[in-house]
């Protein structure tokens, strides 16, 4: 369900003007997109914005943005600028979405049931090389996240991008042969190849012989 946010035009710019707006619970914002080649400068309510901007999946949260003329635009947050210490929101950029135009999004991947994964129970280590998957998709089909259940993942098993469920309209941008999740076999001394151990032993013996000759 889309978050509803009202966009109000503003004329004042600069740090001082923006600081005053924030004291009133307003966040400076820029709205741009296919029909807004010249970005619209305005403000949004911090109260309305927080629901979308403070979400773990803020980059894929759909927004219904009410413009000053009453028109409602579909939008996504493209940038959320925060204070380095307080993490308070300072500024946001919003991007216009068109119903019949695909948009590129990075959909976050959330892994569940790591602790009870079959491979982990056998001593494996569950790794997640990819934290998000990029795709081109129609606005109303943008998934907020991709959830992967790893409970049945065996030792040495992998989940590739091509294996992940995605919307019908989605075109993958991330290579489909990229590994999203893998249960790796932990490397140990017992797994060290015999050849490597033999080489290490030989090196020790040679050094020992040389040392005895020098002492003689």
| Structure confidence by residue, pLDDT tens digits, 94-105 | 999 999 999 999
CATH of the domain at 136: 2.170.120.20
pTM as predicted? 0.77
Share of the chain above pLDDT 90, in %: 76
DSSP code of residue 115: T
Rounded to whole angstroms, the Cα distance separating 18 from 40 reads 15
Domain residues for 176? 104-191
Residue 113 in this model has a pLDDT that exceeds 50: yes
50 within some domain:
yes
Q: Does 93 lie in the same domain as 16?
A: yes
Mean pLDDT estimate for the chain: 88
Assess whether 83 and 167 both reside in one domain.
no
Task: Please classify residue 212 by burial: count the beta carbons closer than 10 Å to its beta carbon, then call 0-12 exposed, 13-18 middle and 19+ buried.
Answer: exposed
Same domain membership, residue 148 and residue 113 = yes
Most confident of 18-22, 194-198, 203-207: 18-22
Q: Are residues 132 and 113 part of one domain? A: yes
Q: Is residue 206 part of a domain?
A: no
Residues composing the chain: 216
- Of the candidates 81, 10, 19, 4, the one whose C-alpha atom is nearest the C-alpha of residue 49 is 4
| pLDDT of 210 strictly over 90 | no
* End-of-domain residue from the set 77, 98, 119: 98
pLDDT in tens, 130-179: 999 999 999 999 999 999 999 999 999 999 999 999 998 899 999 999 99
Residue 49 within a domain:
yes
User: What's the structural domain count of the chain?
Assistant: 2
């Amino acid at each position: 369900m889309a978050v509803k946010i009202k966009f109000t035009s503003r004329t004042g710019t600069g740090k001082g003007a923006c600081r005053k707006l924030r004291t009133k619970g307003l966040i400076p914002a820029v709205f741009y997109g296919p029909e807004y080649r010249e970005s619209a400068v305005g403000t949004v309510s911090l109260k309305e914005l927080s629901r979308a901007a403070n979400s773990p999946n803020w980059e894929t949260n759909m927004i219904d943005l009410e413009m000053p003329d009453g028109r409602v635009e579909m939008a996504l947050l493209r940038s959320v600028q925060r204070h380095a210490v307080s993490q308070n929101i300072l500024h946001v950029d919003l991007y216009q979405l068109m119903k019949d135009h695909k948009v590129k999004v990075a959909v976050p991947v959330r892994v569940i049931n790591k602790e009870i994964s079959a491979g982990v129970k056998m001593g494996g280590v569950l790794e997640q090389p990819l934290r998000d998957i990029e795709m081109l998709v129609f606005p109303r089909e943008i998934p907020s996240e991709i959830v992967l259940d790893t409970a049945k993942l065996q030792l040495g098993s992998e989940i590739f991008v091509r294996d992940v469920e995605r919307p019908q309209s989605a075109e993958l941008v991330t290579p489909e042969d990229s590994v999203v999740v893998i249960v790796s076999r932990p490397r140990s001394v017992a797994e060290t190849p015999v050849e490597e151990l033999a080489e290490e032993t030989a090196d020790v013996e040679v050094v020992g012989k040389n040392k005895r000759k020098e002492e003689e």
